[in-house]
Amino acid sequence: MKPILKGILWAVIGFTGGAGLLTLVRLALGMSLWDLEPAISVGYIFGLTGWLLGVGVWDYWARAWFGLPLKKFEANGLSRYFSFNLDHKVIGLQYLAVFFFMLLTGGLFAMLMRLELMRPGREFMDPAVYNQIMSLHGIFMIAVAVAVIIGSFGNYIVPLMIGADDMAFPRLNALSFWLTPLVPLLLLSSLFFGGWDSGWTAYAPLSVTNRTGQLFYNLAFMTLGLSSIVGAVNFLTTVLTKRAPGLTWGRLPIFVWSIIATAILSLLATNFIFVVLLLATLERIAGMAFFNPAGGGNPILYQHLFWFYSHPAVYVMALPGLGVVLEVIAHFSRKPLFAYKWAVAGFLGITALSFTVWAHHMFTTGMPESRTAFMFTTELISIPTGFIFLSALGTIWQGRLRLNTPMLFGLAVIVNFLIGGITGIFLADVPTDIQLQDTFWVVAHFHYTIVSTQIFGLVAAIYYWLPKFTGRMYSERLGKIHFWWMFVTFNTTFLPMFWLGLNGMNRRVAQYPAPLGDVNMWVSLNAFLLGASFAFFVVLIALAWVRGPRAVSNPWAARTLEWQTASPPPHDNFPREPKVVGAPYDYGVPDSTHAIVPAADSGND
Amino acid sequence: MTTTTVPHTRYSRLNINRIGLWLFILSESGIFIALLAVRFYLEGTSRPEALNQTLGLIITAILLLSSLTAYRAETAIAQGDQAGFLRNTLATLILGLVFLAGVGIEWSQAFREFPPQSGFGRVFFAMTGMHAFHVLTGLILFGLLYFNGRRGAYSAESHWGVEAIVKYWHFVDVVWVFFYPALYLLS
């Protein structure tokens, strides 16, 4: 805990120093001495720097820039997880802890929303409070969806899968992780400054005129963006340079491809959200009217910049989950991944096309001349998505399916994502979208796409790789109970929402027409059951982690490299450098091998 | 993309660092592309008469010149010329500071003529501010280079720090090559 305490101390010093410096500048310029939002913004920049330096950047990195000797790294055991550790396996679990915390917190906010929506009238909370909770639920879950799989499993598994000893930039990796705890911290502290109620999209002009809580949203999202960019640089460099001998592009496990596509999107798109939030912050603190028409700004510019990031970000959320699904389906169907090259083309095609579709979020914004073009590109993107889909179906076709829990979740993604995809057509088509915009149809649609890929994908990944990072096995019986519980309640919660949307239930509103009360009651009750399934999942995984039976080193008889070493893997991952000699999924192909790991028990079958 | 089974060529630490730096620069250019988009979306190609064209041209020339001295610093250390390296690093540092001072003068005039709250002022201050922030970080890094260079931290064989910071400096310079006409010349 010592590095964290040091980080907090340095953060406080930095924040005070930054705010003090600003006060001095204001004094010199003859302005009023104190203004809350500029002080918080400037203080935060210095506080953030102090936090990073204090938590470990100074001791293990920056001292060398000044010719000072670096501190020797000493943490081991549990304290590794509370320090600036450079091991990608530690960082992966650190990511998992932070974002799983955010997932559960965001889930609690959802439960509060469903509590209010049980009945049409005003029940438990003020409509303004409802909107604050809705906004918090949104941004917590967006942060989870952007980062949880790539942060935890990208970090833990990708270097193992490519036969590397670590990421290309271990210190940058630790830095990108230690930015993330600030995200929930800032978002929760916004409540002390009046909260904010503009939803996760934070459209201007509302977001540039409402309470100080909004500033915390801006700072939190920018911090998350910084972490994403640093992470993306690291992932791409790692895959480009650290692959084991023989691991050519055509032999790369499909999960690695999904992480490459995700990292490209993060790398190229994230700075656009950074700019739009920076400009919104400048508008708040310096009166530079970029977005508020009252001052001569243009709110549509906000939407353009916001969605230019946020639509690619939708694929940042979806692709890692789909990567997990293809990975799991290939191993549990005991067949080569069907149309491997087309699946890769699917990932890269989505990556390219996702930069051309952003204005389909703006069909009702009042620019009719461009709608047809964006409708066309949006529907075009279903083609590469179809490649991924058909690759999954073709792999299952006539496979010898092993229906273990990870596979069940993988199959669930296919079912749910199909519903999400088909209902998306009505949002891509301009005439229907104009009717459905801002209704629960949209809510149901994006939960069917994002929850099904990122969250079901995450759950599949946790079950699949649990034996890898704990060396222990979960209970298959409880896992299957959890699967049916979560899969059924997910559908009973979100399917009726399509009907609600068609019948005129608006999103982001605490009260709704009375005839929709019964269905909403049903949805709320099922949502509580869905929420409870996560509590069950946490207990199940915790039990397995602490008391589960020892897992054999390759319980799924999988061929990819991460399973060809001990569980959990030693610090340098492999006893000696592995050599890749064949494709990763050639199950059932005579005389085929994926990789040879010298001087270790061979898990190849 | 290659699918042949070539024997693996190991990437050196230097190659890994270079790839990382280029990816970072690629990502960072998004900030400036977005700001250019904001400039044209909000203000079209209009610009106020009050822009100080002389000053703009001078600071542009100074920044371009600093890229030359930065390049000479890198070449010097690559040939083991410590004195030349230090001299050119210091020159870059000074030219960068003069550029920042020029921006400061431009800002103090702009505050009167087209303040940040005005139509052109908001894009002018956002763009020059973001660029000046990058110049400032570059100067801090050049300060570190000079400080460490005096201790003899770099050599012909090992000077990744120099190479990285000089590349970053060229990038900041290239950004200005786009920003200067977008702010000062178009109309």
Choose one of A26, A59, A84: the last residue of a domain: A84
Q: What is the pLDDT of residue A563?
A: 95
Does residue A455 fall inside a structural domain?
A: yes
pLDDT surpasses 70 at B7: no
B14 in contact with chain A, both atoms CB, cutoff 8 A? no
Residue range A573-602: average pLDDT?
Answer: 86
Residues of B in contact with A244 (CB under 8 A): 8
Choose one of A84, A116, A143: the last residue of a domain: A84
Please identify which residue in the block is written with the tokens 């970053």.
B168
DSSP 8-state symbol, A62: G
Does residue A11 fall inside a structural domain?
A: yes
Nearest CB partner across the interface for A241, out of B19, B121, B148: B19
Nearest CB partner across the interface for B126, out of A229, A279, A305: A279
Given pLDDT bands bounded at 50, 70 and 90, which one contains residue B187? confident
pLDDT surpasses 60 at B9: no
Residues 268-307 of A with CB under 8 A from B: 268-272, 274-276, 278-279, 282, 286-290, 295-298, 301, 304-305
Q: What angle do CA A207, A222, A347 make, to 5 degrees?
A: 110
Does residue A579 fall inside a structural domain?
A: no
Peptide bond into A205 cis (omega under 30): yes
pLDDT surpasses 50 at B161: yes
Residues 139-158 of B with CB under 8 A from A: 144, 147-148, 151, 153
A8 and A108 in a common domain: no
Residues of A in contact with B151 (CB under 8 A): 67
Name the burial class of residue A117, with classes exposed (0-12), middle (13-18) and buried (19+) by CB atoms within 10 angstroms of its CB.
buried
pLDDT surpasses 60 at A114: yes
Percent pLDDT > 70 in chain A is 99
A343 and A377 in a common domain: yes
Residues of A in contact with B20 (CB under 8 A): 168-169, 172, 233-234, 237
Distance from C-alpha of A320 to C-alpha of A145, rounded to nearest angstrom: 10
A161 and A51 in a common domain: no
B99, B77 contact by CB (below 8 A) = no
Q: Which of A542, A460, A86 is nearest to A255 (CA)?
A: A460
Q: How far apart are the first and last CA of chain B?
A: 44
Does residue A330 fall inside a structural domain?
A: yes
Tokens of A271: 């700075």
Q: What is the pLDDT of residue A34?
A: 86
B27·A232 Cβ contact <8 A: yes
Tokens of A167: 């990421």
Tokens of B45: 């190609």
The set of long-range contacts for A586-594, using a CB threshold of 8 Å and a minimum separation of 24, is A586/A336, A586/A559, A587/A330, A587/A331, A587/A333, A587/A334, A587/A335, A587/A336, A587/A559, A588/A334, A588/A335, A588/A336, A589/A336, A593/A559, A594/A251, A594/A559, A594/A560, A594/A561
A248·B16 Cβ contact <8 A: no
Distance from C-alpha of A98 to C-alpha of A135, rounded to nearest angstrom: 19
Tokens of B50: 């009050």
Residue range A199-220: average pLDDT?
Answer: 95
B23·A233 Cβ contact <8 A: yes
A580 in contact with chain B, both atoms CB, cutoff 8 A? no
A9 and A138 in a common domain: no
Tokens of A255: 């999960």
Residues of B in contact with A296 (CB under 8 A): 119
Query: How many CA atoms lie within 13 Å of A297's alpha carbon, on the beta-carbon side?
Result: 28
Does residue A163 fall inside a structural domain?
A: yes
Q: Which of A236, A227, A249 is nearest to A176 (CA)?
A: A227
Does residue A501 fall inside a structural domain?
A: yes
User: What is the tens place of the pLDDT at every residue in B130-141?
Assistant: 999 999 999 999
A100 and A68 in a common domain: no
Mutation choice for B interface testing from A237, A302, A310 by most B CBs within 10 A: A237
Residues of B in contact with A231 (CB under 8 A): none
Distance from C-alpha of A458 to C-alpha of A465, rounded to nearest angstrom: 10
User: What is the tens place of the pLDDT at every residue in A141-163?
Assistant: 999 999 999 999 999 999 999 99
Q: What is the pLDDT of residue B1?
A: 36
Q: Kindly tell me the sign of the dihedral angle through the C-alpha atoms of B105, B106, B112, B117.
A: negative
Average pLDDT score, chain A: 94
DSSP 8-state symbol, A450: I
Distance from C-alpha of A329 to C-alpha of A331, rounded to nearest angstrom: 6
What's the gap between Cα A179 and its chain centre?
15
A89 and A78 in a common domain: no
Residue range A20-46: average pLDDT?
Answer: 93
Amino acid at the residue B158: S
Residue range A509-537: average pLDDT?
Answer: 96
Nearest CB partner across the interface for A282, out of B16, B31, B126: B126
B27 in contact with chain A, both atoms CB, cutoff 8 A? yes
Residues of A in contact with B141 (CB under 8 A): none
Distance from C-alpha of A143 to C-alpha of A140, rounded to nearest angstrom: 5
Query: How many CA atoms lie within 13 Å of A540's alpha carbon, on the beta-carbon side?
Result: 22
A514 and A404 in a common domain: yes
Tokens of A372: 């047809």
A271, B27 contact by CB (below 8 A) = yes
Distant-in-sequence, close-in-space partners of A24: CB < 8 Å, separation ≥ 6: none
Residue A146: helix, strand or coil by DSSP? Answer: helix
A113 and A29 in a common domain: no
CATH number of B13-44+53-185, picked from 3.40.50.1360, 3.30.460.10, 1.20.120.80, 2.60.40.10: 1.20.120.80
Residues 36-65 of B with CB under 8 A from A: 37-38, 41-42
Tokens of A63: 């001292």
Residues of A in contact with B26 (CB under 8 A): 267-268
The CATH number of the domain holding residue A447 is 1.20.210.10
Indicate the Cα dihedral angle B147, B150, B156, B158, nearest 10°: -40
Other beta carbons less than 10 A from residue B132's beta carbon: 20
A93 and A27 in a common domain: no
A66 in contact with chain B, both atoms CB, cutoff 8 A? yes
Query: How many CA atoms lie within 13 Å of A549's alpha carbon, on the beta-carbon side?
Result: 5
What's the gap between Cα A158 and its chain centre?
16
Does residue A223 fall inside a structural domain?
A: yes
Write the CA distances from A438 to A135, A393, A445, integer angstroms: 15, 33, 11
Please identify which residue in the block is written with the tokens 């592995």.
A578
Name the burial class of residue B6, with classes exposed (0-12), middle (13-18) and buried (19+) by CB atoms within 10 angstroms of its CB.
exposed
Distance from C-alpha of A213 to C-alpha of B117, rounded to nearest angstrom: 23
Choose one of A49, A84, A119: the last residue of a domain: A84
User: What is the tens place of the pLDDT at every residue in A158-201?
Assistant: 999 999 999 999 999 999 999 999 999 999 999 999 999 999 99
Percent pLDDT > 70 in chain B is 95
* DSSP per-residue string spanning A241-290: H-PPTT--GGGS-HHHHHHHHHHHHHHHHHHHHHHHHHHHHHHHHH---S
Given pLDDT bands bounded at 50, 70 and 90, which one contains residue A123? confident
Angle between helices A36-52 and A213-241 (to 10 degrees): 30
More confident residue, A32 or A220: A220
Does residue A583 fall inside a structural domain?
A: no
Name the burial class of residue A576, with classes exposed (0-12), middle (13-18) and buried (19+) by CB atoms within 10 angstroms of its CB.
exposed
Task: Give the start-to-end residue ranges of the domains of chain B.
Answer: 13-44+53-185
Q: Which of B161, B116, B117 is nearest to B142 (CA)?
A: B161
Write the CA distances from B89 to A557, A591, B155, integer angstroms: 58, 60, 14
Instruction: Count structural domains, chain A.
Output: 2
Distance from C-alpha of A42 to C-alpha of A216, rounded to nearest angstrom: 12
* DSSP per-residue string spanning B6-72: PPPPPPPHHHHHHHHHHHHHHHHHHHHHHHHHHHHHHHTT---TTS-HHHHHHHHHHHHHHHHHHHH
φ/ψ of residue B155, rounded to 5: -140, 175
A264 in contact with chain B, both atoms CB, cutoff 8 A? no
DSSP 8-state symbol, A579: E
Name the burial class of residue A503, with classes exposed (0-12), middle (13-18) and buried (19+) by CB atoms within 10 angstroms of its CB.
middle
Residue A494 belongs to domain spanning: 85-573
A133 and A58 in a common domain: no
A26 and A153 in a common domain: no
A64 and A106 in a common domain: no
Bridge partners for A472 per DSSP: A550
pLDDT surpasses 70 at B6: no
User: What is the tens place of the pLDDT at every residue in B95-113?
Assistant: 999 999 999 999 999 999 9
Write the CA distances from A354 to A215, A312, A535, A549, integer angstroms: 29, 5, 35, 44
A242·B122 Cβ contact <8 A: no
Least Cα separation, residue B159 to chain A (angstroms)? 13
Distant-in-sequence, close-in-space partners of A427: CB < 8 Å, separation ≥ 6: A360, A433, A436, A441, A442, A445
User: What is the tens place of the pLDDT at every residue in A393-430?
Assistant: 999 999 999 999 999 999 999 999 999 999 999 999 99
Q: Kindly tell me the sign of the dihedral angle through the C-alpha atoms of A495, A496, A497, A501.
A: positive
Distant-in-sequence, close-in-space partners of A33: CB < 8 Å, separation ≥ 6: A23, A26, A27
Does an H or E element contain A595, and which? strand A595-596
